[in-house]
Amino acid sequence: MSIERNTQSFDNEEPEPKPQATPARLLPRAAKRLTQLGNKSILSEAQIASPGTILETFANPKPGHDYQIEFVFPEFTSLCPVTGQPDFATITVTYVPDRLCVEMKSLKLYYFAYRNKGIFYEGVVNTILDDLVATLKPRSMTVTGRFAVRGGTAGTITANYAAKPASASD
């Protein structure tokens, strides 16, 4: 028994166009600054050495509202700085934005920069918090790393940030 494919074509039939990235001229002005979104991304050595440079932002669409954004990344990997063994974690970032929001693909690429980095759990979580706070200047932020069991122990690290209220003289 053989299966034959219908390979008949019609002269007036055009092949389906291949999907392409949206041309920059058609993107909203704010989206034109986002270099990762819609493009194949390969991290440079400089980005891997300094992951904070990967993060991209866009204007908060509702800066007058206090609302919470949460990103859960269940595929985080770094290396134990002592043994070189991989450490797996779920990283959760929860924040109340002020003027800026983080672009999600850049955040994913930021996490990927840690894959071959030797760093302790506490360093991972606090560095992520520091980089995101420096980039976004949010009203508040919490970063939690839930690290998988290694050596019979699971670790959960949580770091918090709250913006200082503006003083009356500001």
Catalytic site residues?
A: 80, 87
Rounded Cα distance, 15 and 44, in Å = 37
Q: What's the domain count of the chain?
A: 1
Residue given tokens 């693909």 in the structure block: 105
User: Looking at the domain assignment, is residue 95 inside a domain?
Assistant: yes
User: Looking at the domain assignment, is residue 96 inside a domain?
Assistant: yes
User: Looking at the domain assignment, is residue 119 inside a domain?
Assistant: yes
Amino acid 26 reads: L
3-state SS class at 161: strand
Rounded Cα distance, 42 and 109, in Å = 9
CATH number at residue 86: 3.30.1130.10
**136: containing domain:** 45-162
User: Looking at the domain assignment, is residue 2 inside a domain?
Assistant: no
pLDDT one digit per residue (tens) for the chain, 170 residues: 544 444 444 455 555 554 455 455 554 555 556 766 666 678 888 888 899 999 999 999 999 999 999 999 999 999 999 999 999 999 999 999 999 999 999 999 999 999 999 999 999 999 999 999 999 999 999 999 999 998 899 999 999 999 988 765 65
Continuous segment of H or E residues that includes residue 136:
helix 121-136
